[in-house]
Structure formats: C-alpha cells, structure tokens
Chains A and B, each alone.
Chain A
C-alpha cells in the first residue's frame, strides 16, 4: 500500500497541470505583492485622521440627503447602514497586513478561497480523468488489480495534495504581501490572536480544498473522464443557483456552496442564517464527499474497464 501511495504522489507531482498551477500560484502571488507594494503609500497618523474625518462627513451627507430625507428614525438607521456599508465604503489609506485574513477568507471572488477550491476540484478531477483518458489506468491495473485500493489511493492522494498545496498557496500569498505592509503600509494589529485567526482560516480553506479535490477525483472515477466530472459540478452549480433563488433556509442549509462559505468564514451571523454551526457545515460537506467517494469505489469495482 505504501508503494502504491508513493507512486501516486510521484505521478501527481510529475503532472504538467500540477506544475503549471503551482507556477501560476507563485507568479500570481508575487505579482500581487509587487502591485500592492507599488500602489501603496505610507500614511502618517495625521493623514489617517483626516481621511477618516472626510469619510464621516460623506456618510453624514449621504444619511441626511437633502432631496429625500429619511421620514422616521428607523428609516434613518437603515439609511446609515446602507451609507456605511455600500455607498461610502472605508477607503484604504495604506495597506494593512491584517487584511490578509479577509483575502484568505473571501469567498465572493475577491479573496483566494473560492479560486483555490475551484482549482482543487479541477486538479482532483484531472488527476483521475487523465488516467482514464490516456488508458494509463489499464496498465496500472495490470500491476495492482485491487480496484478499491487503487481508487482510494488516487482520491486520497488528490485530497492530500490539494490540502498541502492550498496551505502552501495561502502562505505564499501572505508572505508576498508582507513587504508591502512593512515598507509602505502597516503591520499594526498583527498579534498572536490574529495569527491564530489567519492560521485557522487557512486551515479551513485547505480542508475545503481537500474535500473539493477528493470530490473532483471521485466524480472523474465515476464518469471516467475529467469532462464528466466538471459537467456534473456544473449541473450541480445550476441546481444550487435555482435553489438559492427560493431563499428558503430549510433548503439553503443543505447546499454545498452555502455550507462551504459558512465553513470558511466561520461567521456566527452566517450560522444563524442557515441554522448550522461551522463544524456542522464541515460534517455536511464531508458526508457529501464520502457519499460520492463511496459511489466511485462501487462503480470502479463493479464495472468492466474497457
């Protein structure tokens, strides 16, 4: 079993797609670090105070809008919330290293979590799908005919590799931003508590990536191609979009995307919205992944390899 595991790790690391993705992550992170460094400027405490005062003035103007003033106190509260969060968002005076937490956790396309999970799914699907496409799996079964063992190793290696890769990618992103914070920004607020939060967030993103990688690999094992796996994910994505449209918490709490988002941000407000804890979200996601993995093993064991 150890030999099989070792061979699968070597096979995965030797794949061109893995190398391309790794190079893209490093290049992207370095480019982001350089861009942030180039566009950031140092700000004195006085400049920060002036900017904050300007923002407060703009918020007050927004709330008291002369053409359409709020009629009641409740209206005014709603208006203030809108102005603070939507109309006059906090302007970045200077780059703060503490923003790394938001960058890692962002699941709305602005952070690294969603891309990492998607890439993990793709890598997992491609790792197994390419073996089917090239028929390399046929040759391998001539050496190791215990199919459940072969399938479990491949899925396990895909999950472990993307877990490690996601952790490493997040570390690279964080490290790439440190020069900008030190030279043109601030490291204020970086303490043990913050480090723990960042570490926890990175670990959750990596775990979610591992689940995505394992799911991609399992789907490719069932569909016997990368395209089939990605097609299945796409169809599920469409179903999720439709279900989200109903905005019914009873349905939302079972959606993989909803549980994934909750697990990454670990936000009590999000927990309340769908009535599930962060650990509960992880359990649901793991249960889905195990169900698909079980189906992959059963299918691989029962069907002829042709």
Chain B
C-alpha cells in the first residue's frame, strides 16, 4: 500500500507577468508504507516544491498528490494529525523557547506536556529547552524542527534535508531515529542531497532532475538504471584482454591492474567465455557496485543541458 502518491505533479511559479519558472514537471512518485524513501536531486530540481505541495503550502499547477489516501489539495485537514513535517529550514518565533514553541503547537491537538518533554529529550534538546530560539545554532533549530514533526507521533514523516547543520553525532542520531521510526511502521519521505546519508537510511529513492524523476526504485534498481558500476575483470595480459573484449563488441575501460566492463554491456559468464576462447583465463571477475553518488551524478548530469553537464 502506498502512503504517499504523486501523480503527474506540475508546479509553475510566476515571476512577474510573463516569466514562469517550472519547478516540477510531471512528477510521479509512490512511497510504500513503512519505508524510508529518499527524494534526491541537485539544487532547484524540485524536491522542496514537491514536499511543499504534499503538505499544502503550495498548490500544484496540475496533477495530484495524496497522503494516507487524502488529496493534499482538499482533504489534508483530515489526515494532518498523522503527518509530521519539516520543509525548508525550520523557523520559529525567535523570542520563544523550544519548550514554549512545542507547547503551542501541541496545544492545537491538546498534546500532553509530558510528550513535549519526551520529544525534546529524543532530539537532544532537553537541556536547552528553556532558551530562546534566537540563541540556537542552526543544528539546534534543525533538532527543534524535528521535534515539532515528531510531537504528533506521526504515521508519515516528511523531512527536507533533516541532517543539515548537524554534527556527526547528530547525523547518526537522526539516521537511527529515521530507521527506528520506519521499523515501527512510520513512513518517512526525506529529501536531500547528502547522498551517503540517504544511502545508509533509505529503502528506495527517486532522483529528480529539472523537475522530473529520472530514476525511481530501490537503491539497486536506481544504480542499475544509472548504468554505472559494472564488472571488474583481472586477466593477464591486460592489454590483450581488452583487445579481445573490444573485438567481441564489449566496451571496457582500462584500470591500473584491471578492466572495468560496463554493467549494461554483458554479464560475467559471457566475459569469461569470450576471454577463455581467446586463451585468456581471468583471475577475477566480480561485480563492482557503484555508489549512489555515482548513480546520482550519472543520472542528473545526463538530464542537464550540455554546457552545464
């Protein structure tokens, strides 16, 4: 069951009378229940706009999005109690303390004060909960935003770059928190571009570029879609092995002590057969898994205009 559905979402911003900026262009997205789903993309790719449409801060120009089966345009009030969110840098009244900020928000649903203390503890803000927000570092504000999102004990959590400004310990804490929430059945949609973080915590991702999803699915599926990674082949002599493979129509690149065969080109068994038929017996053939970062760069570069890429 998909908890978040985005269908052909399109969002244009008007700048002046004639100029229009296309932020999201026909985006489709499905986030299954209980998963941690990463929304990746370079700056300006439409991640935050998508999140803003989901929580009702922006209206789609066309298309639809829904959370927990409720249309985000008209039925959001019915499910908002079950949705926690932090979109863009979290901001609150500077003169209020974290505790007062959360008490005021919690007051909307008559959430008990004890719960406020619990989430402050959970995000590591308990000791500074009485200080005014103006005295907080960016990382502490980020923690407060996260606390506000967790205060509802949400079934769906929508976060925009939640580890921005956090120290390494804070990053690990957030990562563990997100994983823990997902294990408890909470669905997490997290936008960002700190790829190692996303890679460690997400079950699936969608990569956005200029407002469109250029790849979507599990991490392995996205890597495969990017066509990065491949087969590492060690065979001596290396130059001859490359020539044999090239003659068989298999593109490969020469490394210091190995050949790298593009993943999409051929599978390991065939590489082994081609080389053996030429009297070359490979010492090692193994798949090389590309990082999400390589996949991300491969996919987003391909979508950019040439001079930018």
- Establish whether residues A143 and B108, one from each chain, have CB atoms under 8 Å apart when the complex forms: yes
Contact of A134 among B13, B80, B83, B94 (CB under 8 A): B94
B contact residues around A143 at 8 Å (CB): 80, 105, 108-109, 152
A139 at the B interface (CB under 8 A):
yes
B contact residues around A131 at 8 Å (CB): 93
- Establish whether residues A142 and B109, one from each chain, have CB atoms under 8 Å apart when the complex forms: no
- Establish whether residues A140 and B105, one from each chain, have CB atoms under 8 Å apart when the complex forms: yes
A11 at the B interface (CB under 8 A):
yes
B76 at the A interface (CB under 8 A):
yes
- Establish whether residues A141 and B57, one from each chain, have CB atoms under 8 Å apart when the complex forms: yes
- Over the window 116-155 of chain A, the binary record of Cβ atoms lying under 8 Å from chain B Cβ atoms (1 yes, 0 no) is 0000000000000011001110111111111000000000
Among B82-141, those with CB < 8 Å from A are 83-85, 87-88, 90-96, 100-101, 104-105, 107-110
Q: State whether A304 and B52 are in contact (beta carbons under 8 Å apart), knowing that A134-B94, A139-B91, A143-B80 are contacts in the complex.
A: yes
- Establish whether residues B90 and A3, one from each chain, have CB atoms under 8 Å apart when the complex forms: no
- Establish whether residues B59 and A138, one from each chain, have CB atoms under 8 Å apart when the complex forms: no
Among B134-151, those with CB < 8 Å from A are 145, 148-149
A contact residues around B52 at 8 Å (CB): 304-306
- Establish whether residues A15 and B91, one from each chain, have CB atoms under 8 Å apart when the complex forms: no
C-alpha gap A145/B57 in the complex (Å): 8
- Establish whether residues B95 and A142, one from each chain, have CB atoms under 8 Å apart when the complex forms: no
A contact residues around B56 at 8 Å (CB): 141, 145
- Establish whether residues B57 and A11, one from each chain, have CB atoms under 8 Å apart when the complex forms: no
A10 at the B interface (CB under 8 A):
yes
Q: State whether A3 and B105 are in contact (beta carbons under 8 Å apart), knowing that A15-B95, A136-B91, A306-B58 are contacts in the complex.
A: no
B237 at the A interface (CB under 8 A):
no
Interface size for A (C-beta < 8 A) is 26
A contact residues around B96 at 8 Å (CB): 14
Q: Chain A residue with minimal CB distance to B110?
A: A3
C-alpha gap A305/B85 in the complex (Å): 15
Task: For chain B, give the interface size range.
Answer: 20 to 34
C-alpha gap A16/B148 in the complex (Å): 22
Q: Chain A residue with minimal CB distance to B91?
A: A135
- Establish whether residues B80 and A10, one from each chain, have CB atoms under 8 Å apart when the complex forms: no
C-alpha gap A218/B101 in the complex (Å): 23
- Establish whether residues A7 and B107, one from each chain, have CB atoms under 8 Å apart when the complex forms: yes
Contact of A10 among B58, B104, B109 (CB under 8 A): B104
B210 at the A interface (CB under 8 A):
no
Q: Chain A residue with minimal CB distance to B133?
A: A134
B contact residues around A306 at 8 Å (CB): 52, 57-58
- Establish whether residues A136 and B107, one from each chain, have CB atoms under 8 Å apart when the complex forms: no
B77 at the A interface (CB under 8 A):
yes
B contact residues around A110 at 8 Å (CB): none
B contact residues around A146 at 8 Å (CB): 77
Whole-angstrom distance between the Cβ of A226 and the nearest chain B Cβ: 13
Whole-angstrom distance between the Cβ of A278 and the nearest chain B Cβ: 39
Q: State whether A6 and B57 are in contact (beta carbons under 8 Å apart), knowing that A143-B80, A145-B76 are contacts in the complex.
A: no
- Establish whether residues A11 and B55, one from each chain, have CB atoms under 8 Å apart when the complex forms: no
Of A11, A14, A143, A146, most buried by chain B (CB within 10 Å of CB) is A143
Q: Chain A residue with minimal CB distance to B103?
A: A10
Q: Chain A residue with minimal CB distance to B148?
A: A139
- Over the window 52-77 of chain A, the binary record of Cβ atoms lying under 8 Å from chain B Cβ atoms (1 yes, 0 no) is 00000000000000000000000000
Q: Chain B residue with minimal CB distance to A302?
A: B59
Contact of B91 among A134, A141, A145 (CB under 8 A): A134
C-alpha gap A134/B56 in the complex (Å): 19
B contact residues around A11 at 8 Å (CB): 93, 104
C-alpha gap A53/B104 in the complex (Å): 65
A contact residues around B108 at 8 Å (CB): 3-4, 7, 140, 143-144
New A-B contacts (18) at CB < 8 Å, excluding given A141-B56, A145-B77: A3-B107, A7-B104, A11-B104, A14-B96, A14-B100, A130-B93, A134-B94, A135-B92, A138-B57, A139-B92, A140-B108, A141-B55, A142-B55, A142-B80, A145-B56, A304-B52, A305-B57, A305-B58
What are 29 residue pairs bridging A and B, where the CB atoms are less than 8 Å apart in the complex? A3-B109, A7-B105, A7-B108, A11-B93, A14-B104, A15-B93, A130-B93, A131-B93, A134-B91, A134-B92, A135-B88, A135-B91, A135-B92, A136-B92, A136-B93, A139-B92, A139-B148, A140-B105, A140-B108, A142-B83, A142-B85, A142-B148, A144-B80, A144-B108, A304-B57, A304-B58, A305-B52, A306-B52, A306-B57
Taking Cβ atoms with an 8 Å cutoff, the residues of B that contact A are 13, 52, 55-59, 76-77, 80, 83-85, 87-88, 90-96, 100-101, 104-105, 107-110, 145, 148-149, 152
